[in-house]
Amino acid sequence: MSIDRDSGSMPWSAEESPRPRRAVRPVDDAFYIPPAGFEITEPGTILRTREVGVALFGRITQQVDAWQLLYRTNDLDGRPQASVTTVLLPRGKSVGDMPLLSYQCAIDAVSDSCFPSYALQKGAKAWGAVPQFEFVLILHALRRGWAVSIPDHEGPHGHWGSPREPGFCTLDAVRAALSFSPLALRSNSPVGLWGYSGGGLASSWAAEMAPEYAPEINLLGAALGSPVGDPASAFIRLNATLHAGLPTLVVAGLRRTYPDLDRFIRQHVSPAGLELLDSVNELTTVSAVRRLARHDLDEYIDMPLADLLASPELLDIFQAIQPGKTAPTVPMLVVQAVHDQIIAVDDVDGQVDRYLDHGAHVTYLRDRLSEHLSLHPLSAPLTLDWLEDRFAGRPVPPTGVTTVWSTAFSLRAAFGLLAMLWSVVLVLFGRRL
């Protein structure tokens, strides 16, 4: 079966599921199980839909219209799988003829409690899931009058760190959202990508995969905040630091992605190390970072960590998971803190250099005063203005690298921050945006 991309019609008849009475983790939720025969559908086909309630931290109900779409996509090896995206509309907004923002959360975990489709639902018990903290910025973007798609870009199995697969999941979620009738979007509606940290990495893969994988999508720009740049470098640098839980989570995700890596790890990691890796499977990102602070993976292997990382098996994987080998064909905005304590500015410099060498159009802003956690909200007004300019067809800023004191140091950004503070008030009181 195939989708008529021009008309938006769906030969596959998507099932409509009832609104859930309570949030249920994906592993226990039948909604996430694709119907028989879904493999023969085209990527992006909607398989099942339902209305959901969304809430800040699972508690403060938000006055927005929200649905979940189970859709067909591909894994890293091109095998059919199903994932879920949460699509949002401002309540009371007349639908149709609006842009679509695809926001990739920093899932940064393998536990399905961190998938945004669960973490953003009313009643979700997901303390420490990063999407819950990002939800304020997503809702602020919704005030622009855009439709928003929030995909589970790690796929159904939590393939954190996987190359390309986040791009497939993201782009197929866009295809599903464009064909979802309640959004009333056109097949050529303008689309933008935005993500920060692990979400910036997922957005990088989506921008890189789009020209070949989904050329029919009218993608106009990609905003990448602190997009990791070199996961292997981050792995080495963060080990045995306060943020040692993050590289441990990456290993847990890559074990699921690469069976050969899992076998290699079992050969060289001690039983205590394997137990440690298994323990993060049920942890949210914040919980893993707190529990594994200053853990040194060198203590759990039968050879020096440097030698293990230099093995051909790991070198091939670390090379594969590095973004920037393919040039996106749309303009990109990249923001990065010079003094980032989690993602090294040199790694993002390298990713941008690879894009520029391939001829991509990149406006890269390096921020001197921010660090990893503060840059995302402080750069949000500038990022949203940049996306709005792309949707409106305004001239693209020059390509190149600029180091600034702060992305928030402009009159336009100051007004944007005030607007964002008002969004925070509305969200905290559950008022209509």
Looking up tokens 């957005």 gives 203
Of 320, 339, 359, the residue at which a domain comes to its end is 320
pLDDT at 219 over 80: yes
Domain that holds residue 305: 231-320
Q: Is residue 24 part of a domain?
A: yes
> Which CATH number characterizes residue 181's domain?
3.40.50.1820
HSE-up (13 A, CA, CB side) for residue 76: 18
Q: For residues 191 and 194, give the distance between their C-alpha atoms in angstroms, rounded to a whole number.
A: 10
Same-domain pairing of 282 and 349: no
Annotated active-site residue 159? The verdict is: no
pTM of the model as a whole = 0.95
Of the pLDDT bands very low, low, confident and very high (cuts 50, 70, 90), residue 3 is very low
Pick the catalytic residue from 83, 197, 226, 406.
197
Of the pLDDT bands very low, low, confident and very high (cuts 50, 70, 90), residue 9 is very low
239-283 pLDDT, tens per residue? 899 999 998 999 899 999 998 888 988 988 899 989 988 999 999
Split into its structural domains, the chain has a count of 2
Identify the residue with better confidence: 260 or 126: 126
Enter the tokens of residue 101: 């923002």
HSE-up (13 A, CA, CB side) for residue 313: 14
**How does strand 80-90 pair with strand 100-104?**
unpaired
Q: For residues 308 and 327, give the distance between their C-alpha atoms in angstroms, rounded to a whole number.
A: 31
Which amino acid is residue 122, in one-letter code? K
- Per-residue pLDDT at 11: 60
pLDDT at 156 over 90: yes
Q: What are the DSSP calls for 234-285, one per residue?
A: HHHHHTTSTTTHHHHHHHHHHHHH-HHHHHHHHHHB-HHHHHHHHHGGG--H
Asked if residue 31 lies in contact with residue 165, where contact means CB atoms within 8 angstroms, the answer is no
- Per-residue pLDDT at 307: 81
Identify the residue with better confidence: 262 or 31: 31
- Per-residue pLDDT at 2: 35
Same-domain pairing of 247 and 216: no
Q: Is residue 264 part of a domain?
A: yes
- Per-residue pLDDT at 97: 81
Lowest mean pLDDT among 204-218, 304-318, 343-357: 304-318
Q: Which of 87, 99, 327, 360 is nearest to 218 (CA)?
A: 99
Same-domain pairing of 126 and 70: yes
Of the pLDDT bands very low, low, confident and very high (cuts 50, 70, 90), residue 5 is very low
Q: Which of 375, 379, 316, 327 is nearest to 353 (CA)?
A: 327
Asked if residue 343 lies in contact with residue 380, where contact means CB atoms within 8 angstroms, the answer is no
Helical pair 259-268 and 312-320, crossing angle rounded to 10 deg? 140
Annotated active-site residue 233? The verdict is: no
pLDDT at 6 over 70: no
Same-domain pairing of 302 and 348: no
Same-domain pairing of 298 and 241: yes
Q: Is residue 2 part of a domain?
A: no
- Per-residue pLDDT at 342: 96
Lowest mean pLDDT among 128-142, 165-179, 237-251, 380-394: 237-251
Annotated active-site residue 268? The verdict is: no
Of the pLDDT bands very low, low, confident and very high (cuts 50, 70, 90), residue 4 is very low
- Per-residue pLDDT at 399: 96
Q: For residues 430 and 11, give the distance between their C-alpha atoms in angstroms, rounded to a whole number.
A: 38
- Per-residue pLDDT at 93: 72
Percent of the chain exceeding pLDDT 70 equals 97
> Which CATH number characterizes residue 240's domain?
1.10.260.130
Of 283, 299, 320, the residue at which a domain comes to its end is 320
Same-domain pairing of 401 and 307: no
What mean pLDDT, rounded, does the chain reach?
93
- Per-residue pLDDT at 297: 86
> Mapped to the 3 state alphabet, what secondary structure does 71-101 carry?
EEEECCCCCEEEEEEEEEEECCCCCCCCCEE
Q: Is residue 6 part of a domain?
A: no
Lowest mean pLDDT among 85-89, 314-318, 388-392: 314-318
Pick the catalytic residue from 75, 112, 230, 340.
340
Q: Is residue 294 part of a domain?
A: yes
Q: For residues 396 and 293, give the distance between their C-alpha atoms in angstroms, rounded to a whole number.
A: 42
Of the pLDDT bands very low, low, confident and very high (cuts 50, 70, 90), residue 381 is very high
Of the pLDDT bands very low, low, confident and very high (cuts 50, 70, 90), residue 7 is very low
Q: Is residue 157 part of a domain?
A: yes
Same-domain pairing of 73 and 187: yes
Which residues contact residue 16 at a Cβ distance below 8 angstroms, ignoring those fewer than 6 apart?
48, 49, 50
Region 75-98: mean pLDDT is: 90
Same-domain pairing of 377 and 270: no
Same-domain pairing of 176 and 311: no
Of 300, 320, 340, the residue at which a domain comes to its end is 320
Asked if residue 221 lies in contact with residue 230, where contact means CB atoms within 8 angstroms, the answer is no
Region 387-410: mean pLDDT is: 96
- Per-residue pLDDT at 94: 65
Of the pLDDT bands very low, low, confident and very high (cuts 50, 70, 90), residue 302 is confident
Q: Is residue 433 part of a domain?
A: no
324-343 pLDDT, tens per residue? 999 899 999 999 999 999 99
Same-domain pairing of 218 and 339: yes
- Per-residue pLDDT at 92: 77
Q: Is residue 371 part of a domain?
A: yes
Same-domain pairing of 240 and 145: no
Same-domain pairing of 68 and 197: yes
Compute and round to an integer the Cα radius of gyration of the chain.
Answer: 20
Neighbouring CB atoms inside 10 A of 161's CB total 29
Region 158-185: mean pLDDT is: 96
Neighbouring CB atoms inside 10 A of 271's CB total 9
Pick the catalytic residue from 159, 243, 361, 372.
372
> 3-class SS at 179?
helix
